[in-house]
Structure 1
Amino acid sequence: MRIPTLRRRRHTEDTGSFARVDRRTKDLTKRLRPGDIAIIDHVDLDRVAAEALVKCRPAAVVNAAASISGRYPNIGPQLLVEAGVPLLDEVGGSVLDRIREGELVRVEDNVLYRGDDPIAVGTLLDADSVAAAMEKARAGLSEQIEAFAENTLKYIREERELLLDGVGVPEIRTRVDGRQVLIVVRGYHYREDIAALRPYIREYRPVMIGVDGGADALLQAGYKPDMIVGDMDSVSDQALRCGAEIIVHAYRDGRAPGMERLDELGVDGIAFPATGTSEDIAMLLADDGGASLIVAVGTHLTLVEFLDKGRAGMASTFLTRLRVGGKLVDAKGVSRLYRSRISTTSLLMLCLAALITIAVTVRVTPLGRAYFHVFGAQWDAFVYWLQGLFS
């Protein structure tokens, strides 16, 4: 591959930055540190992955695949560019084999270097190129809707007994019947929504279900999950050992790779074979258990969010929401819809005004003056007693 003539615009130090290499972006972000260069293989970089990358503050992101393939207008690349993170796109899959974890690399214009050796050439995306690609991708939505319809019919054929009759839902020990359930997925705006739901959680004390990393989100917010549901690939050991009931999402043939991890930790779990996603089976568990209301945090709602999940997961989420019906309430956007209009300063001023009012009332009313004299006599007696201890 011939390396084109480059303009000398450097995004990393001359000495380079440490490379973090992984085909799974969510695994890579667990070890990505500020100033590192993330090397990923992520077609249609979605919003959740982009937000996780931006939070790590990398020097650059190098994507072996197309960050915007044209299937639909995914917002991930736009978030990276707006955050000032250079995104070198479509450098080819061989880069993940040629660069080892921890090597020093650097990005100059549209080339990835290791030392003085050019390793891969791609397209350096900017705001204009991302906007143009997003506009072109919007034209592909009709094809994705057709694929969605086909996938929906396939899922109905495979899971009609589970969806319609609840066949295959395992027995759980967590008492759900008649209670409200809070399902937390580490998705869009989950931190803001959990914070906005604190008054609701205090009042109703719902059953808390963390979907994979959603269990860690609950722990970080100061809550203990009652149940953890998922394939156990993005939840911490601390969460798995917190005492919650664990439901492992298994394949339809019964294979459950997550069980191996639980065995290593010495933690018990129940397998739930299902074709859908982990957030889907969490909703099915709550519904089958007799939950009176299901509040969902961080789950998928819009068409673009369904597409972010990929075709395999779109239909199951859509149909599961239809199955659960009117008892499902989505908490997405609660933090933007409702914010307290009373500031901390206003509350302090209100308390101060109340104290001043009480003091004035005590001073000017006959009853208040009587109480004031009684309190003064008690205070003098206390001071006299205190002085006697040291005399």
Structure 2
Amino acid sequence: MKLSLRRHGHTAGADEVVGPARVDRRTKALTKRLRPGDVAVIDHLDLDRVAAEALVACRPAAVLNAARSTSGRYPNLGPEILVAAGVPLIDDLGPDVMSVSDGRVIRVADGAVFDQDRLIAEGDLQTVESVAASMEAARAGLSVQLESFAANTMDYLRRERELLLDGVGVPDVRTPIEGRQVLVVVRGYHYKEDLVALRPYIREFHPVLIGVDGGADAILEAGARPDLIVGDMDSVSDRALRCGAEVVVHAYRDGRAPGLARVEALGIPYVVFPATGTSEDVAMLLADDKGAELIVALGTHATLVEFLDKGRSGMASTFLTRLRVGGKLVDAKGVSQLYRHGISNLQLVLLIAAGLFALGVALASTVGGQALYGLLGARFDDVVSWVRGLFGGLP
């Protein structure tokens, strides 16, 4: 069933939109089962860039958000990405829209959502103009978020100073990391493109591959196998968990480990890493503590806007983790731009041999070359005769 929402000038048209609803409060979980033509029903305050890109990749007919896609806290990028991709975004529908049964065919007309003729909720159809106005208003309040970010950073430093400064609490792992390069893969910004760009680097240097939750699936999709899987196991597939990689379950300081039950149910050996920060922080701290020579971060959060776009105060931990790791840490984009694939000794020998063979063939096709081969053959016979004479005229 095709959904069509047409805009006439700056206002939404009244044309109906019909499609099966796919409902989930967690956008990351919803995108795993969202199909082209479905209507995505989410409850995502401040829709971030990664979630929006995942939704666009699924090609939904429309996105219905129970929350405000931009609250005004900071200029988040998600709504702009959806609107630019031509995906209708109905915003601020309220909690009632989450009561729609999954798979139920619903109808959307001019920002109102209907189950047959029954009105479920009403919201705002976002346009290029409305998204731009929301972004402008959010930029005005960015200073408040900067102050909050700084406060969260200091709070995290107080609670995790022993881990950050002395490595207290880092578990032992059987995967050898000492003196090796490590590639930490997170399903973040442009992770697929960066992983493709780093294939020559992976083939030549064979770094330790650490997949952070769904990053393990990205490694498998790229044709490699992760050595370590780190995270709370909320977005990694069973296939990745069973691939033979060592599993490190991220637990909170209060002892809760959401992914522990799942790993135990699969019968997979694991170690637990209790830490307050995010799973990508845990992966980098683990690699650093175990003596990694270089840590290449792919898909991780690197800028202040990206920290805020994640929408979690805990992103302050990533800022401090990067300070802790220091000069070992390199962004994947920098590696892909600076790295040049080297030529192995075997490739060099084969290249020289091919060149000499081509030169020999070229000489054999000329009169001068044939004369040169005749002269070299005569010289070779003289050398053979001389050697035989040294050993008493061997036959």
Shorter-chain-normalised TM-score: which range? 0.7 to 0.9
1:89 — aligned with what? 91
1:9 — aligned with what? 14
CA distance in 1, matches of 2:93, 2:339: 44
TM-score normalised by length of structure 1:
0.84
1:182-331 correspondence runs (5 A):
182-331=183-332
CA spacing shift, 1:312–1:363, aligned 2, 3 Å: same
Instruction: Say yes or no: does 1:112 pair with 2:117.
Output: no
**Stretches of 4+ moved more than 6 A in 1?**
336-340, 354-359, 368-371
CA spacing shift, 1:281–1:132, aligned 2, 3 Å: same
Code of the residue aligned with 2:316 in structure 1: it is A
CA distance in 1, matches of 2:119, 2:339: 51
1:50-129 correspondence runs (5 A):
50-97=52-99, 99-129=100-130
CA distance in 2, matches of 1:338, 1:81: 36
8 Å CA contact 1:147–1:311 kept in 2: the answer is no
**Cα offset, 1:263, TM superposition:** 1.4
8 Å CA contact 2:96–2:120 kept in 1: the answer is no
CA distance in 2, matches of 1:11, 1:73: 31
CA distance in 2, matches of 1:248, 1:18: 36
Question: SS at the partner of 2:160?
Answer: helix
Bigger drift between 84-93 and 156-165 goes to: 156-165
**Cα offset, 1:261, TM superposition:** 0.4
Bigger drift between 258-267 and 290-299 goes to: 258-267
Question: SS at the partner of 1:156?
Answer: helix
**Cα offset, 1:241, TM superposition:** 0.3
1:337-352 correspondence runs (5 A):
none
Number of paired residues?
A: 349
8 Å CA contact 1:185–1:213 kept in 2: the answer is yes
1:16-27 correspondence runs (5 A):
16-27=18-29
TM-score normalised by length of structure 2:
0.84
CA distance in 2, matches of 1:22, 1:143: 30
Code of the residue aligned with 1:9 in structure 2: it is A
- The higher radius of gyration belongs to 2
CA distance in 2, matches of 1:190, 1:157: 32
CA distance in 2, matches of 1:22, 1:11: 23
RMSD between aligned residues: 2.3
**Cα offset, 1:363, TM superposition:** 2.7
1:48 — aligned with what? 50
CA distance in 1, matches of 2:64, 2:367: 76
CA distance in 1, matches of 2:195, 2:270: 26
CA distance in 2, matches of 1:44, 1:205: 39
1:387 — aligned with what? none
CA spacing shift, 1:114–1:179, aligned 2, 3 Å: same
CA spacing shift, 1:357–1:45, aligned 2, 3 Å: farther
**Cα offset, 1:93, TM superposition:** 1.4
CA spacing shift, 1:334–1:83, aligned 2, 3 Å: farther
Question: SS at the partner of 2:75?
Answer: coil
CA-to-partner distance for each residue in 1:212-256, whole Å, 9 max, x for gaps? Answer: 000000000011000000000100000000000000001112221
**Cα offset, 1:202, TM superposition:** 1.6
CA distance in 2, matches of 1:359, 1:22: 69
Question: SS at the partner of 1:304?
Answer: helix
**Cα offset, 1:311, TM superposition:** 3.5
**Cα offset, 1:333, TM superposition:** 6.4
Code of the residue aligned with 1:169 in structure 2: it is V
8 Å CA contact 1:11–1:60 kept in 2: the answer is no
8 Å CA contact 2:22–2:34 kept in 1: the answer is yes
Gaps of 5+ in 1: 1-5, 341-353, 372-391
CA spacing shift, 1:121–1:368, aligned 2, 3 Å: farther
**Cα offset, 1:337, TM superposition:** 8.1
CA distance in 1, matches of 2:40, 2:363: 66
CA-to-partner distance for each residue in 1:71-128, whole Å, 9 max, x for gaps? Answer: 111111001001100000000012112x010000122111112112221100000111
8 Å CA contact 1:25–1:40 kept in 2: the answer is yes
8 Å CA contact 2:48–2:311 kept in 1: the answer is no
Identity %: 67
CA distance in 2, matches of 1:190, 1:358: 48
CA spacing shift, 1:167–1:301, aligned 2, 3 Å: same
CA-to-partner distance for each residue in 1:147-199, whole Å, 9 max, x for gaps? Answer: 01110111111111111111111011111111110000010011111111122
**Cα offset, 1:310, TM superposition:** 2.3
**Cα offset, 1:336, TM superposition:** 7.4
1:380 — aligned with what? none
Question: SS at the partner of 2:45?
Answer: coil
2:388 — aligned with what? none
CA spacing shift, 1:362–1:213, aligned 2, 3 Å: farther
Question: SS at the partner of 1:317?
Answer: helix
Gaps of 5+ in 2: 1-10, 342-354, 374-395
Code of the residue aligned with 2:185 in structure 1: it is V
CA spacing shift, 1:365–1:188, aligned 2, 3 Å: farther
1:3 — aligned with what? none
CA spacing shift, 1:202–1:368, aligned 2, 3 Å: farther
